[in-house]
Structure 1
């Protein structure tokens, strides 16, 4: 079947306008469906053999995208830079002029591009600090927190905390991002305030209410105290912390929380902190990054990420890990983020098993369970098969299963199905599909990318639209494409194969945790997989969640994990 003129036009249009990616994928899916419908027998289709014209155009378009290179921050529109933020956010020049506003900030604060930051209803001291910070942003590195303050919303009367952060430069223009701060009370901060500054539990609750933006009468009502008592306790908090006003308290707590959540802090003697990152040198001259989430001294569990998810977890998950004393050791697979490449797709899971052994040696782990999240499940089974007793238990969370029949693709949402069909039947055409998707992400199309994945899956779509979860997913997309399309391409190859032999080469007990509303891996295929594994496998079904189960209800997964620790 020959390529349609529309398909060829869209192949090239997507190289010029990344936001035509959805149109390309929709047209390509129609073409694939027509070819598959005319296929004589399942599993015998070779799309590449009969369609050299399509391959030629796909390869040319891929070459164009590679020649154009990756689009950095400087190449994105100003609107795209703030639209990617899940919170109300504005971009500000050193002069104080607002140059971009996302819809959430426009609704909450009533400002537009071209306004001055002075038009925000800021505290006097806060406005002064923002002006001073804007005057020095050219000297600060991207990502540096410059100051925090409160702002009054004319929309609903709330007083959220906003943080001013140095943003990546736009060309040679230094800019700052002013956004509603993602600040929530941490019990560790409460412990610090009690132990170091002598705050009572009641005073910590007062500080917590101030951070939440609650007025004194609201705090009094919630605590069953008089407003005068709350005001007296507030003065006591400020006196013990040697602060002059609530604005200084907000800035102090925000600074402590940023330190508490800092991802790259190392403990003494090079030991990685409670939530940190380290790099392991592997022979020959390969680097493997490892993230750690959870308390020092926590029970270790290996966590193998999937194709697009990275290692982000919600605040609720971090709290649960602390409470339960569980420490996730999360190696970054080759080609993802900053980990060095390691060969082509064939044999990738088996090679990565050796990397996992090196990670366990580095952290002094003799044996522990392994979690395979989404596409990470094939790598978890490979590690179990190769490392034997060092892997105590396999826990698959929303994991993929071996593709024993191409009919398994039929239940997938459209976007995942077109990628699966391409990876299985036309792998030489996959690089353009991946590379054009990266161009969309680079141009600020994170939300469009997410919508295409989950629009037809209402349970996951609702979860993905939770601001905290969307930020995790957005970071996961970028985690995957940091080095280009290879990580995506290699994983796409793995997840569409029948890797039953790899799974059956392991002997450990297996927990398969899966949401009944998972749109990508049908629940029945998980049950069938468990049946082929025999008595060592147990399926635990979440009655209401889908593929994003770990973000929506991590307690469900951790409850099951507790059984094998």
Structure 2
């Protein structure tokens, strides 16, 4: 079975966002000292034999320049702090002020390896207590209290990196360095590297220290292709960059090993400066951070898309104190989208699209309705729609969302319409995927399959037995594999079934099933009771623009169209997608993205 999705190259917007993310950091204030600035801004050394840097990314250069301008403005506002004081007001740095602090790892060491300063997270990582770092810095005091040998061990360097670290400190101590020098060290943690560079400390004196910042990155399969497509680099340039980013020593490397296809290309610092210039970065350190950030972001996104990790989430609270668990997917900026999940597969379908959502610039919020996951208790029967409307209204207000698109899946489409009817102009439109048809009569249940039909009959005619039936169904899914939850919805012999059989869905759907059953399936039971009642009267009225994506064999597209109450309404489109059935979100994600793009652009 296919174990990973196709990895799309980062979009230009994604790269631009990464530039600001990797530049707007207080640990980079040192670059504005006059001595360092002169050296760092020097043009790269000329390359021999008619090889010259090609600036293929002028737009990226402009964004780097703008990001550095913002950082310098913030440095001036804070009184031009030197590296020993850059984090003394750590709580004052946040995204609203233009400089991001987060939980990053950053230390300032002297050339003997002694500790001078560090971020809170870094100091905790090397074994200091909360009380030791409560004042936000380690200047002076801790240098005496933590032996150099112990601190070196705390960095968790590999044996090869230990030797390179010692050589680097000796060069810095002897003054044999350039402010543009960068050393990347490998650690015992596979995905943790350390970027080391000389920095100037103090005011009016030439005292030099070493900045050590963490770089979380794994050079994953497909990284070479991603970097080539993103920055227009050649294979020999990518190989040299890989050596640096992964923390491997370049000593003893033959020139031919990194310059195949370009015999006159320089090896070493000059070559790296040319690569950085070609990629649009002002220096090697900036390129390393950018490449590392993009690869780490892509690896994290792939882990989410494959179900090896959950997307980040947080709780929001309404005015009555009731919590809603909201998952965040896609990009950090861009068109806001609110995903309204179905009953059985939760957020699995949208989670699987994480890579594409980020590349396309969709900022997705996926709130769990009451009774699911860590959200509040399930609403009483008859108040399911109003409870969901209150959740979405709270989300829009607290996140300050401007006309978000509602993306509903299966029974989530019913909730999306109810929300759009209630909030009207505050909503940017609806994209409904495989909408659940109204179950007006018992004969409509024949359109359901397997346990869906059994649970629905139970909800309609024997609700007291529903909790027991739900637990039985959950155990059955665990035995069969959670992926069978979706595969059984595709008709045998169809194109959709063939596509589903190639996908590894068990990890994703296992996560979603666990969320669904966290409160003993209370949310599922509430949704099921709504599904078996006549909710059509609650979605009557103009709800603005809407696109409904349906499989050609779905009962909702037969006879009277999607929902009879919407027939003839303006700005409502029903698109019949051949061969997708009721599993369109899994086998036709590109159709969903196209509909979101169209809704976002207002076409």
TM-score, normalised via structure 2 length: 0.50
Structure 2 residue aligned with 1:553: 588
CA gap of 1:202–1:371, structure 2 versus 1, over 3 A, is same
Q: Which position in structure 1 is the counterpart of 2:332?
A: 296
- Once the two structures are superposed, the pairs formed by residues 7-18 of structure 1 within 5 Å of their partners are none
Selected match of 1:409 from 440, 445, 457 = 445
Deviation at 1:201, TM superposition (A): 4.8
Q: 1:208 and 1:514 mapped to 2: Cα distance?
A: 47
CA separation of 1:204 and 1:433: change in aligned 2, threshold 3 A: farther
Residue of structure 2 equivalent to 1:81: none
Which of 380, 397, 401 pairs up with 2:433? 397
Other structure's SS at 2:429 match: strand
* SS of structure 2 residue aligned to 1:394: strand
1:245-260 map, 5 Å: 257-259=298-300
The aligned counterpart of 2:233 is 200
1:514 aligns with 2:547: no
CA contact 1:382–1:503 (8 Å) conserved in 2 = yes
> 2:557 — aligned with what?
523
Match of 1:190 among 221, 227, 241: 227
Gaps of 5+ in 1: 1-125, 127-144, 149-180, 211-225, 242-250, 264-274
After alignment, is 465-474 or 328-337 more displaced? 465-474
Q: Distance in 1 between matches of 2:240 and 2:526?
A: 49
Give the equivalent residue in structure 2 for 1:535.
569
Deviation at 1:284, TM superposition (A): 2.9
Instruction: Confirm whether residue 563 of structure 1 aligns to residue 598 of structure 2.
Output: yes
CA distance in 2, matches of 1:316, 1:432: 30
SS at match of 1:301: strand
RMSD: 4.7
1:287 to 290, 314, 323: 323
Residues 305/232 of structure 1: CA separation in 2 closer, same or farther (3 Å cut): farther
Output the CA distance in 2 between the equivalents of 1:290 and 1:185.
31
Q: CA deviation at 1:306?
A: 0.8
CA contact (8 A) 2:483 2:509 kept: no
- The 2-side partners of 1:335 and 1:359 are apart by 17
Provide the C-alpha distance between the structure 1 equivalents of 2:421 and 2:323, rounded to a whole number of angstroms. 24
- Alignment size in residue pairs: 356
- 1:378: Cα distance to partner? 1.4
What do residues 1-55 of structure 1 show as CA deviations (whole Å, max 9, x unaligned)? Answer: xxxxxxxxxxxxxxxxxxxxxxxxxxxxxxxxxxxxxxxxxxxxxxxxxxxxxxx
Query: How big is the shift at 1:392?
Result: 3.0
Q: Is the 8 A contact 1:382 1:506 kept in 2?
A: no
1:350 equivalent among 375, 382, 386: 386
Using the TM superposition, give the Cα deviation of residue 374 of structure 1 relative to its aligned residue in structure 2, in angstroms.
0.9
Which one has a bigger Cα radius of gyration? Answer: 2
Q: Secondary structure in 2 aligned to 1:446?
A: coil
1:461-487 Cα offsets, whole Å, 9 max, x none, are 334333344433332222211221212
* Residue of structure 1 equivalent to 2:136: none
Match of 1:333, SS?
Answer: coil
CA distance in 1: counterparts of 2:402 and 2:492, whole angstroms: 43
| Secondary structure in 1 matching 2:524 | helix
- Change beyond 3 A, Cα 1:468–1:444: closer
Whether the aligned pair in 1 keeps the contact of 2:549 and 2:576 (CA below 8 Å) is yes
* d(CA) in 2 for partners of 1:544, 1:182: 37
C-alpha distance in 2 between matches for 1:445 and 1:411:
23
Alpha-carbon distance between aligned partners in 1 of 2:293 and 2:568, rounded to the nearest angstrom:
56
Q: Secondary structure at the match of 1:435?
A: helix
Correspondence for 1:170? none
Instruction: Quickly say closer, same or farther: Cα 1:192–1:324, change in 2 above 3 A.
Output: closer
CA–CA distance in 1 between the matches of 2:300 and 2:544? Answer: 39
Shift of 1:256: 6.5
**Cα distance in structure 2, aligned partners of 1:188 and 1:517:** 39
What is the CA–CA distance in structure 2 between the aligned matches of 1:335 and 1:207, rounded to whole Å?
Answer: 53
- TM-fit CA distance, 1:262: 7.4
Question: Which of 362, 374, 389 is the matching residue for 1:326?
Answer: 362
In the alignment, is the contact (CA less than 8 A) between 2:339 and 2:406 conserved in 1? yes
Q: Using a 3 Å threshold, how does the CA distance of structure 1 residues 321 and 255 change in structure 2: closer, same or farther?
A: closer
Looking at structure 1, the residues matched to 585 and 522 of structure 2 have their Cα atoms a distance apart, in angstroms, of 26
Q: CA deviation at 1:354?
A: 0.7
Question: CA separation in 1, counterparts of 2:562 and 2:467?
Answer: 32
Shift, 1:319, TM fit: 3.9
Corresponding residue SS for 2:338: strand
SS of the residue corresponding to residue 348 of structure 2 reads coil
Residue 322 to residue 409, structure 1, CA distance change in 2 (3 Å): same
Distance 1:295 1:394, change over 3 A: same
Residues 554, 443 of structure 1: alpha-carbon distance in 2 compared, 3 angstrom cutoff: closer
C-alpha distance in 2, partners of 1:457/1:428? 37
Query: Does the 8 A contact of 2:337 with 2:405 survive in 1?
Result: yes
Q: What's 2:415 paired with?
A: 379
Superposed, 1:381-460 pairs within 5 Å as 381-441=417-477, 445-447=481-483, 452-454=488-490, 456=492, 458-460=494-496
Q: If each structure's helix is expressed as a fraction of its own residues, which one has the higher value?
A: 1
Q: CA deviation at 1:496?
A: 2.4
